Structure formats: C-alpha cells, structure tokens
Structure 1
C-alpha cells in the first residue's frame, strides 16, 4: 500500500481545516489571509464543500494554515478549542465506533487503525513496560516548524484528554512529556488540560509521550455496545473500501525501526530498493518532507534510546547494541549530538516513571 505524502489531498478538511478557519475567523482573522500560501480561497472551499459530500486537503495545506493562524490570531487557545470539538462529533461514524469501544485500550487500538482521522499529521505508537503504558507521538508528515509542532501537539492532547474524560467520566493520573520548551501561554494548559487535577506536564523532554497506568486501559465501559461499533466500522468499510492509508514517513519509520531491531542493512540504497525507488527518488521524496535519510535514522535511534534509557533503565552497553552501534563510545557521542546531554546526565536529570 502506497503511503500518502505531504502534498497528497487525503485529510478530511471538514474535520480540522474548516473548523480551524472558523475559529480563527471568529477571533478577527480574515479567512483568505489564513489560506495564504495554499493557492486556495475561502469561497473555493465553500463551493467545493457544497459540490461534494467530502472535502479533502493536503497535510501541507493544513500546516500552512496553522502557521498563518499562529501569526494572525491573538491568544493561544484555538488549538485546545479545536481539540475539544474534535471527539466525537467531528469524527462521524468513527466517533460512533470509538464511543462504543470496550475500554480505553480498545479505543487506542482503533485510533491506531485510523490514525489519519484520529490524529491528523501525527503517528501514534503504544508501548508497555512494567505496569505503565506509553503513548508516543511523532510527526507523520516530516519536519514541522515550532509553531506547527506546538499547535498540533496541543490539539492532539486536548482531543485525547477530552475523549478519555468523556468516556471515563474523569481523568486518570497522566504524565505528559513534551519535546519542546515551556510555552508562554502555560495558563491555557492549566485551563484546558486540567494540570491541577491528575495531569503532570513536563516540557523540553526530548520526546512527546503520555504515560498512563496499564490497568486504566482495560477498565470496562459499562455503556459500550459492541454491535453499534461493528455496524459503524462496517459502514466505514463500505464507504472507504481501500485500506486506510498511513503516511510515507510512517512507512519509512516502521521499516527502519524493524531493520534496526533485526540489525539489518540500513543503507539508503537498500531502503530505496525496498520501496521500489531509486536512491535519488527517495532523497527527493524526503526533501519534500524537509527531511534527509540520515536525519530520519537519527530521529528513530534518538527516540528509542531515550525510551530505553529513562523508561526501561537499560545500560549504555545494552542500548548501544540494540541501536546498531559498534561501541559504547560512539553511542555516547551520538546521544549527546541528538539531545545535547550525555546518557548519564539524562539519567540523573529526568525520571519518567
């Protein structure tokens, strides 16, 4: 299955793009200025929306509007408000299926199957260690600007926590680790993410991750209806008979992670051959996502190293071997290049558990 790329029109514009434009317009931004750089005008979107049942846009269009919004709109609440609106009303049949999942674990599994709809522009990984579960998020469409990264993460957290609270009645204890410095609009995090309740947020953690006790994932929802979930998924399948797409970057990450774990050939030539491209074509496709091949491998290794070091508390030697380094010294140098600190310094400074 071919993965979608940054310029492919696969996102449901009604779910995020139009709602974002409406929220920004209500706060004084001109819709056409929000669309600057997309080659679209607001009237065009309205006409297209009336002409067909579904309106799609590319990730690049949505990212451009997010960037424009951050510059045109005073205040920093739109990302949170957009997330609060998202579940379940903006997800249609998928929202109905999610509402009737057996427990949070079932909901997260379904979100992974429908990542493009549930977490636009983000890739969700679920890992388990000891008694905790870890939801790790990465960009699914390549490099993001600081404004884009912050906005999308805030939107994703608002939607995710809103869904958990909606189904559980209250938020369980959550630890949230964000891979960017503390923001100036921290009050919005307190208001929209309930930081004073059971939510602990740490910034500048080099990884974007939500930690939850594993037992919380499998507490049953007494009001779920499996038959309604099955009907909703069947209707989705009839409306979208093709396999639900994941991004080209997600496919690359999955392939390279598997090769890394199996200590296989990580060369660009081998990777290009696997996907049926020449090395030059793969290089061009990565450049379209503002990435390069070595940077992609470094990002995968960095995330795995941080998780193994701080969560699993593995030794430098074990991590170096797992990540395909010839010796521990090379791993230490690479880790400091990725994170700005040595592995031992991170062990001393951060405690994720």
Structure 2
C-alpha cells in the first residue's frame, strides 16, 4: 500500500519476509562458521536454505532471530554479535552503504538510520534525546527479540562504530551504556566498541558529543547519494516497524489508548493487541517503556529535580511521580540521579 504522496505505509512485523537474505543471513552465517559453527546446524529450524544466502531471496526477522539463536549456541567465542555487526558494514553487499558513504558528514548518516531502518537495522531502533552538548540514543527492541536483544544490540553498536570508521576514517567517541554487570569477556567489548563503556545502567544507551556530528565523510557526493537513496526507496516495502509506529504515537500523545492507536494505524484494537503479543510485548509495556526513557533522561542525564521532571512528564502530584519512577525503573528518583 502507498499513500497519496507515493510513500509506503505498511508496517513491518517480525513475520514479513522482506529482509535481504544475502545481507543479514549470509553475513551472520559467515561469521558463525568462521567461529566453528557447522552451517547445517546454523540453518536448522530457521526455514532458511543455502540458496537463500545468495541472490535475491527475502527472509523474515523471525527467521534471522532463529539463526542468531543457533549462532549463539554453536559458534565458539564471545564476539559473534560484534563480528556480525562489523561484517554488515565491511563485508559482502549492503545496498545501504553507498548512501552513508557519500554523505557530507556523520550527522547526516545518523539522521538517515531511522529512515532506512527496515533495511539497515530492523531489530534495534533508537529514541533520541539531547542536551546542549550531546545526543543520547536509548536503544529499543524493534522486533520482539526478547532474550536475543542483547545480541542484536551488540551487533548494532559494532556496526555503528564500523560505519563511522568507514565513512569518516575515524573512530568517533561513542559512549555505550548496558543494563547488566561488567561481563567476564570485557576484552571483546573494549576491542570492538572502545573503552567508553558503562555497565549496570538503567537502559541500553549510546551517547555522542554533538561536535562529532560535523566530522566530514571521506567521499561526499550529492549525486551518488541521491542515486543511492532512490534505489533504497524502491526497496522500502515498509515505512517502519509496528512497534516503533506505536511508540511514535505514544511519544506524541502519552494519554493515547490502545483503541485510539489502533484506529490511527488502520486496524482493529483486537488486531493490534494480537500483533503486539506476537512481538512479545503489549500496549501498556510500550507505554511504560517510553515513560521510563523520559524519566531516565530527565533524572539521570539532565539531573533535574523531582518537581522539574514531574512537570515535563505532566504529573501534577509528586508522590505519584515518585511511585511511577520506582515502578518503571526499580529506582527512586534520587537513586536514579546517582546512577
């Protein structure tokens, strides 16, 4: 379906077979095989066949998730996700790379990631916040990855580092936050992401100084970039993912109800509820996660006091605000400011 302006309006879900197999699956298989995983075991139970790794075969997010689960089980070492992310940028054909490589500066690359997310990063999305000096990207599960989300985040972060290096020739100063303890295989994180790492944080997050956005790309070319964008737009069967579409509605109106959101997405309330369940989430979970992001940014990042944060989040009662923050984050506002 296309809107009156010619743009795709369908919403990508985990079972839609639209992802290029030669890009996602082939790269993941190559990395896992290099780490000792037998190819036939990697493909077991995925519905993916060897022929799907070449040519124009398309696969679903759910199939790639099953492939990732097999890679975790059969590949040796702790760097499979990181290598997968790097391989997406530096390895075999990725139709999106020409657009990024011919950008004027890295800020243009980052702004384009959400635009081409169904093709570039279907599993991980980011909600951007900013202050005077930095941009903050709070990472979100875009496809109901569940326990595989850590793997997908590691791949996303490694791909971002590799993309910056390929486009600008520099390793830009990304800061990475992870909501779990310092891993025993910390050297894999440091080797692939650098040393600006924090663990035991409330959410997965990436921070980068605004001045880094103006770092020029090595091969800026408006003509080639426009051609690459034209090619990508022709491949964009879907505007964005279902989960991120619901999130976008909730960001615009935090009091939106499920039936109201369903109507704006041109589906019934029952259909939206079922589709969200298929992605291992619910409307209330998405709503709470958005409010959690806002609380973390205002309290932990900006260090606002309770009254200031409550006003920004439309709370009229400070006691209710404290209770909500504790429910969303497991921490009181004071504890969150100290993280």
TM over 0.5: yes
Residues 90/48 of structure 1: CA separation in 2 closer, same or farther (3 Å cut): closer
Please, which of 249, 258, 263 is the counterpart of residue 273 of structure 1?
263
Shift of 1:91: 5.3
Deviation at residue 61 of structure 1 after TM alignment: 1.1
2:101–2:166 CA contact under 8 A, matched in 1: no
Question: Which residue of 2 is the match for residue 134 of structure 1?
Answer: 136
Question: TM-score with structure 2 length normalisation?
Answer: 0.90
Distance 1:21 1:273, change over 3 A: same
Whether 2:146 is the aligned partner of 1:156: answer: no
In structure 1, the gaps of 5 or more residues are: none
Matches within 5 A, 1:2-151: 2-38=10-46, 40-41=47-48, 45-48=49-52, 53-87=55-89, 89-90=91-92, 92-145=94-147, 148-151=148-151
Task: Identify unmatched segments of 5+ residues in structure 2.
Answer: 1-8
Output the CA distance in 2 between the equivalents of 1:208 and 1:69: 22
Q: Which residue is equivalent to 1:185?
A: 185
Aligned mate of 1:245, from 239, 243, 247: 239
Q: CA RMSD in A?
A: 2.1
Q: Superposition pairs for residues 191-230 of structure 1, below 5 Å?
A: 191-195=191-195, 200-221=196-217, 223-230=219-226
Measure how far apart 1:125 and its partner are.
3.1
Residue from 332, 336, 339 that aligns with 1:346: 336
Distance 1:281 1:223 in 2: 46
Q: Deviations over 1:116-166 (max 9, x none)?
A: 222231113333211112223211112521xx1221111111111111122
CA contact (8 A) 2:178 2:203 kept: yes
Which whole-Å CA distance do the structure 2 matches of 1:68 and 1:255 have between them?
Answer: 35
| Separation of aligned partners in 2, 1:46 and 1:33 | 12
Q: TM-score under structure 1 normalisation?
A: 0.86
SS, match of residue 113 in structure 1: coil
Shift of 1:37: 3.3
**Distance in 2, Cα, partners of 1:295 & 1:83:** 28
Give 1:64 deviation, angstroms.
1.4
Please say if residues 23 and 78 of structure 1, whose CA atoms lie closer than 8 Å, have aligned partners that are also in contact. yes
Asked if the contact 2:37/2:76 (under 8 Å) is kept, the reply is no
Contact 2:11 2:238 in 1 (8 A): no
Tell me whether 1:284 sits opposite 2:249 in the alignment: no
1:296 aligns to 2:286 (yes or no): yes
